[in-house]
A and B are shown apart, each in its own frame.
Chain A
Amino acid sequence: MQNVRQNSNISVLAEEIIGNILLRLPVKTLVQLKCVCKLWCALISTPWFISVHLKRFSSDPDAHYILVQSTEINGLIPIRNPSCLIKLTEPYKADYSVVGSINGLVCLNDRYSKLICLWNPSIHQFKMLPMHNIKLQKTRKCYVSLGFGYEQNSDDYKVMRILNYYKGTPLNIVEVYSTKLESWRKVKTDVHLNMNTCSCDAIVEGFTYWVVRNTNEPRKAVLASFNLRSEMFSVIPVPEVLVTESHSFRAINYHGSLALLAYSSHNEFEKCLEIWMIEGGSCGEGVWQKKFTFGMGFKISTHWGLTNGDIVVENAPNTPFLFNLRTKQLRIMGTHFIHSVFYYTESLVSIKGFKPCPFVNEGEKEGFNSIEEKER
């Protein structure tokens, strides 16, 4: 095997060495380097390269961001430097909200949960999903909930659409979009939950979770869970102690596993955050255990948990900061008025049918609205 071709004292590197070097570069540089030559472009675009790169950067803090939606702006806040806010060039101009994010892909939907889009902000590519199959009965009030997730075995990103009529039967109707099959498919379920959420609360590899609260009966809060491999939709009870009024909790992905991040304010002097996790399986057969308790030393009004163990908290209105539970390090964030927070890792991940996001000034020409027209 010839590693170096001596060509008037100029060495040409073997492809495996080029790969080894390129795997260490951030997404932005790699996108630029695609135009070096055809070989580099092909190498950077292979599924092998994309997945090894994702794995390598999943432990690199420089590749991790908080995707915030605020009343002012939607943007990325680098975990390394939370006072900075990077404005996102959205794939279309419309009111949208984030459903969820995993492996660098972000699922967006419009206000009416009709149009759904998958987007990789780091490589500036997006795809509008085709219209779903199940139409609503116009005469009855129906809630639509959405979720997003990833299944590793089939390397498939899926979007879940859960319908529930306000009163009476049928049970929840669930349909799933597979990026591999590029189509919607109805999934059998025997669950009946009154849920109404356009975003999911926790995405863990292979599972997506929503916290479902019954506004009339807060004690009946449960977790809805979707297994992306078996496509089973099920209900997981929440520890009884957490559904009392003195606790507020969120479901989060905590270092790759499902956890509940609970804030207890029942004792004026012992403000603390608790991490609850299921021992022995994530499908509901296990038992919830309180794994960690972190003394806060201050009161908080809202909190969001992040995969890396940091939390976003507010203790005064509209002044969010990033807080590390272990080091107690507190950092001010470059935004105010947050209404939702997602964990985002940059990646090269691409799905079938991705196309470049239109430029900002061309947005209206090629963006959301024109696609909406076509779909009709």
Chain B
Amino acid sequence: MASTTETKQKKMLILKSADNDEFEIEESVGVQSETIKNLVEDGFTFVPLPNVYTKALIKIIDYLKKHANKTDSNDEEIKTFDKDFVNTTFDDLFELVSAANYLHISCLMNMLCQTIADRIKDKSPEAVRKIFHINCDYTPEEEAKIRKANAQAFEGQFDESLD
């Protein structure tokens, strides 16, 4: 292996979370995030991330490390990793999806949005409200009107669980 490649791989970045924890990662791992890549191209090696908290950042760094080493042979291993990665609570998924959006990591964004969509697909509007911590801003009359106008969509069984 050429020595220039090795020096390149050794280039390090420091990411600083919203709760002021610092993480050192290889530049080649970090640049999978468009946000970090743009900063690196502008010459930054210290990247403050005021919108990403430590808990989410640790998981995202794990994800980036795993995906930076993607080869043809570890496809199955990455699939298993991804499956475990999204096997968590809705609140954790929301933290992660917000962080992935801020960091502009499109493959992670896709995976998280698809996971959330798949998990709310059969849920009732009430369950979805609770899961997303949304206060209903309709008056009871307004909500009844919307339900009536779309009554046929409300036929059948709903999944009322919150996980």
Contact = CB atoms under 8 A, between A and B. Distances in A.
A353 to B, nearest CB: 14
A86 B97 CA distance: 36
B152 interface: yes
A327 interface: no
A33 B128 contact: yes
A29 B102 contact: no
B117 A22 contact: yes
A11 B56 CA distance: 12
B153 A124 contact: yes
Contact of B101 (A16, A28, A29): A16
Nearest to B124: A32
A181 interface: no
A38 B137 CA distance: 6
A124 B150 CA distance: 7
Contact of B134 (A3, A20, A36, A356): A36
A153 interface: no
Given A38-B137, A359-B152, 18 more contacts: A3-B51, A4-B98, A4-B99, A11-B95, A13-B94, A14-B98, A17-B98, A21-B120, A25-B121, A31-B150, A32-B150, A35-B150, A37-B129, A37-B138, A41-B146, A89-B152, A356-B151, A359-B151
A192 interface: no
A12 interface: yes
A235 B15 CA distance: 66
Interface stretch (B26-34, B36-44, B75-83, B108-116): B108-116
A364 B99 CA distance: 54
Interface of A: 1-4, 7, 9-14, 16-18, 20-22, 24-26, 28-29, 31-41, 89, 123-124, 356-357, 359
Contacts of B120: 21, 25, 29
A35 B101 contact: no
B135 interface: yes
6 shortest interchain CB distances as A-B pairs = A24-B117, A31-B153, A4-B98, A3-B98, A124-B152, A11-B94
A21 B113 contact: yes
A28 to B, nearest CB: 5
Nearest to B132: A13
13 contacts: A9-B91, A10-B133, A16-B101, A17-B97, A21-B117, A24-B117, A24-B118, A32-B125, A33-B125, A34-B150, A89-B152, A123-B150, A356-B149
A35 B138 contact: yes
Nearest to A22: B117
Contacts of B147: 35
A26 B156 CA distance: 15
B114 A24 contact: yes
B125 A35 contact: yes
A13 B116 CA distance: 12
B62 interface: no
A21 B136 contact: no
B113 A4 contact: no
